[in-house]
């Protein structure tokens, strides 16, 4: 039996890409704030007062992961929760002043990290790269939600 060429396996390449991103994130952005934590901070900068479920949807995290991320950010006093006055079972999330400062500081670092990460690609290739991984990511999200059918464009 012959070995398969893993360079043709998208999962293998995605894992290697994630490993490179993780390494760059930890060395150039933060060892304390993870990329998913930054995504949550960023979502709350864009839309303050979102509830936990909506934040998870915005950044592509499942319920248990977003709950853990929010818990960690809350323990670090980077975000606060207040009860929704219209639905007492729901909490609305807002960044604290420290959360805003942290986000502001990390934006500069993420921009530099992205330059390094994408350096092997020309500007045109970067545009194509983003388009392709966005399409694959969006199709994968729809796989998690069977109510949303895949289209021919997703295949």
pTM: 0.86
Is 142 a residue whose pLDDT tops 90? Answer: no
Distance CA 124, CA 19 (A): 24
How many C-beta atoms lie closer than 10 Å to residue 38's C-beta? 22
Q: Is the separation of the CB atoms in 90 and 43 below 8 Å?
A: no
Q: Beta partners for 84?
A: 87
Distance CA 117, CA 23 (A): 10
Please tell me the CATH code under which domain 20-117 is placed.
1.10.10.10
pLDDT value at position 143?
81
pLDDT value at position 146?
63
């Amino acid at each position: 039996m012959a070995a398969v060429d893993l360079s043709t396996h998208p999962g293998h390449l995605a894992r290697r890409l994630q490993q490179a991103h993780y390494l760059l994130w930890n060395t150039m952005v933060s060892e304390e704030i993870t990329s998913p934590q930054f995504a949550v901070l960023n979502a709350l900068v864009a839309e303050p007062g979102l509830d936990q479920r909506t934040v998870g949807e915005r950044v592509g995290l499942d319920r248990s992961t977003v709950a853990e991320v929010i818990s960690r950010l809350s323990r670090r006093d980077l975000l606060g929760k207040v009860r929704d006055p219209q639905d007492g079972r729901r909490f609305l999330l807002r960044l604290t002043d420290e959360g805003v400062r942290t986000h502001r500081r990390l934006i500069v670092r993420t921009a530099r990290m992205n330059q390094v990460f994408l350096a092997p690609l020309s500007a045109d290739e970067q545009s194509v790269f983003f388009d392709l991984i966005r399409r694959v990511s969006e199709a994968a999200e729809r796989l998690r939600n069977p109510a949303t059918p895949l289209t021919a464009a997703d295949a």
